[in-house]
Amino acid sequence: MKIKKFPISIVLFIVFWTTQTHLYALTPDKNLGIIPQPNHIRMKGKTSDISTLKIHLDKNMNSPFYTDLFKGVEGITVVEKKYANVLLKSDDLLGQEAYSIDVTQHQVIISASSGKGFQYALTSLVQMYRFHGLPLPQVLIQDNPVFGYRGMHLDVARHFFTADEVKKYLDYMAMYKFNRFHWHLTDDQGWRVEIKKYPKLQEIAAYRDETLIGHYNDQPHKYDGKRYGGYYTQETIREIVRYAADRNIEIIPELDIPGHSMAALSAYPELGCENKVYKAATSWGVFEDVLCPNEVTFKFLEDVMDEIMALFPGKYIHIGGDECPKEAWKKSDFCQQLIKDKNLKNEEGLQSYFVTRIAGYIQSKGREIIGWDEILEGGLAPGAIVMSWRGVEGGIEAAKQHHYVIMTPNSHCYFDYYQSESPGEPISIGGFIPMEKVYDWNPVPSELTPEQRKYILGGQSNLWTEYIHTFDHVEYMTFARDMALSEALWSKDKDYRRFLNKFEKHYTYWVNKGAHVAFHIYDLKHHVKSEIGKPVQLYFDVPQQATIYYNYEDDNLGTMNGLDTITIDKSGKYTFIASKNNQRGHPLELNFNLHKATTARIYLETLPSDRYAGRGPQSLINGLKGPDSKYGGSEWLGYSGTDCSGFIEFSEETQLNTVSFRFFKGEGQWIYLPKAIEVSVSDDGIHYSSVVSTTEIHTDTKVANISLPLKGIKGKYLKFEAKNYGTIPTGRQGAGYKSWLFIDEIVVD
């Protein structure tokens, strides 16, 4: 392994470019320690002489939130007005969430027009005092969020969390100026809210017989045999609603209908389309048993919504509408007759009828409804707000129809996905969304016109808890990435390097409070570069200008920095770790298997999804395998409904003995093995001869390793095609949707 230094001219260019690009980030004046970053900061060039904050709160600001905000901060006290050096002034010209902070030599003047503005201002001031340190700079901050809807979601149906744990979640939200808590209260696995008129919901639907152990993709499925559940009494919910209101957070309750309703059916089977016994689900996924659109169901839902609206005074009610299989409706004589009677086109039209009817009832009570983007199917209910989760396409379509949209695409906002490629990460549903990807996200798609963009209300993170059993795990999956999201939704002035400097201090604060926060900012992101006929080169994005220590097969080799590249000239295990100021990243182990294609060039005729593009086409021949346990990250390439095809060009005519492919199998995540593979060889890249093909592709594990014999044939070009499985069949998770194909290393020997 050799380290290669860049020429001095390139070094100077990189230093100049970095300095210019990140000058704002590297200027300490405007790094005030505040997350999310304020939108307008004017430094006055001097420091104040303020060493303690003496704050006067008038009688209208007696929220217990402020007691919690100031608790444990040495040097902050609440005093009578005559002793205060932090003065609060009302300014009706400012927006509801806007504020200003003017730090002069001797005092701090805060202006806002509402309790929200004063809360956000004092939160920013406390962060600046805590994380920037003393003396405070003389500075004028004028701030207002980019997006009005800034949400965090928590699923308590799959795993239940106590009222105190929910309050911790709300405390975190308040710290980072989130203003909507999307509370997912019902699903197939449990019903979590007391409904007085229907007591079986808390007696039966709140519990399941047992719970799946391990991952859904593990075969065969295993269960713990333990009854599991719980619910919130109406008294508890009112207490939590008040707690949220004290922090200017509106709670949006979600009752997921007409699908994801197995728990409700277990208590009241007459709500189903079949005469049978239903049970709350003990595993994860999508189930064919859904609510029947008859008068019994609608009366039940109207009664339930009456109690829900009495508990939650906010203007939004979320009614789900996602992942509703139509098989039960197709088999139901009642549903088929209803489709005819209502002159509906098909079962999608029936779902639209269902959603529209419930939406109309809720809207008649002066509320607004939100639904997942499936409510677009069959036609949107009037006034419905679309929550776009299957990418951004649903949000784009809704905005074009002049419906309001909340963006929460699973490409950027699903925090039950892995956040690191470290092998030590706790089990997750799959996918890969690192903090940097969250930070760089813009909720407004470029495809929209300026007129259409006004329908994008904002965004939120989603935390589904199939694999999250404890609140410690909730904190681990959300706290780091939601700091990044808060800045993505609030701030115009974004800079990731500056954010990381702030994040380290905020991380320490939460850890000292006993929270479990993910820390991956010193984890290395590697890049493998190869040119036809030349050795493999390795380089890194170096986090926070850290030093990298590395070894080969446990033999220490030394250190490197971000301007170094390494020549990988032999197979084996290379280990790298970044370190700075006593902070270390997780070790990165790269097990290189150099083969004939690693010094070749690859061309893809069909490109992978932008969400799962690895490090580009070269990921398929760079000598590295992606992890067996997760399909996101730097090595796996994912194709949604399309084939993977391309060709490999060698530097010269080469004897080809075998070619091997790796595919991921995760049918619970709609990931299927290919239905066929074909390999051809050519001398000129124009005329190809088929060498081998197969349709026998099976595995009982998460990864299929398929090796095909080439029998020593010679050629300069090797063409491959892996055919996508196609539409997911009835009875499977994701039935009717396009399947995914995930491919990793193509090894040529």
Could you give the residue numbers annotated as active site?
187, 260, 323
Q: Is 402 exposed, middle or buried (0-12, 13-18, 19+ CB in 10 A)?
A: exposed
Instruction: Give the residue from 272, 258, 279 showing the smallest Cα distance to 334.
Output: 272
- The angle at the Cα of 316, spanning 313 to 322, to the nearest 5 degrees, equals 135
Looking up tokens 């997780």 gives 586
Backbone phi, psi, residue 240, to 5°: -70, -40
Q: How far apart are CA 254 and CA 37, in angstroms?
A: 31
Q: How far apart are CA 742 and CA 625, in angstroms?
A: 13
Helix spans in 318-423 (H): 327-331, 333-341, 347-364, 393-400
Report in angstroms the alpha-carbon separations of 494 from 39, 439, 656, 720, 741.
Answer: 9, 8, 50, 43, 35
Contact assessment for residue 327 and residue 381, using Cβ atoms and an 8 Å cutoff? no
Contact assessment for residue 714 and residue 656, using Cβ atoms and an 8 Å cutoff? yes
φ/ψ bin of 383: left (φ > 0), alpha (ψ from -120 to 50), beta (otherwise) = left
Contact assessment for residue 559 and residue 26, using Cβ atoms and an 8 Å cutoff? no
Contact assessment for residue 571 and residue 625, using Cβ atoms and an 8 Å cutoff? no
Which residue pairs from 159-163 have beta carbons closer than 8 angstroms and sit at least 24 positions apart in sequence?
A: 159/465, 159/466, 159/468, 159/469, 160/190, 160/192, 160/228, 160/229, 160/230, 160/231, 161/471, 161/474, 162/471, 163/232, 163/236, 163/239, 163/240
627 Cβ contact partners less than 8 Å away, ≥ 6 residues apart: 421, 423, 633, 635
Helices (H) and strands (E) in the chain, counts: 17, 38
Instruction: Give the residue from 648, 575, 644 showing the smallest Cα distance to 614.
Output: 644
The residue type found at 708 is L
Instruction: Give the residue from 354, 381, 378 showing the smallest Cα distance to 292.
Output: 354
Contact assessment for residue 60 and residue 154, using Cβ atoms and an 8 Å cutoff? no
Kindly give the interhelix angle for 496-512 and 471-490, rounded to the nearest 10 degrees.
150
Backbone phi, psi, residue 745, to 5°: -65, 135
- The angle at the Cα of 12, spanning 11 to 14, to the nearest 5 degrees, equals 65
3-state DSSP call for residue 24?
Answer: helix
β partners of residue 645 = 721
The residue type found at 382 is P
Pairing outcome for strands 572-580 and 588-592:
antiparallel
Contact assessment for residue 398 and residue 457, using Cβ atoms and an 8 Å cutoff? no
Q: How far apart are CA 557 and CA 580, in angstroms?
A: 18
Element (H, E) at 184: strand 180-184
DSSP letters spanning 225-248: ---EE--B-HHHHHHHHHHHHTTT
DSSP letters spanning 483-505: HHHHHHHH-SS--HHHHHHHHHH
Instruction: Give the residue from 30, 23, 88, 25 showing the smallest Cα distance to 54.
Output: 88
Q: How far apart are CA 316 and CA 576, in angstroms?
A: 49
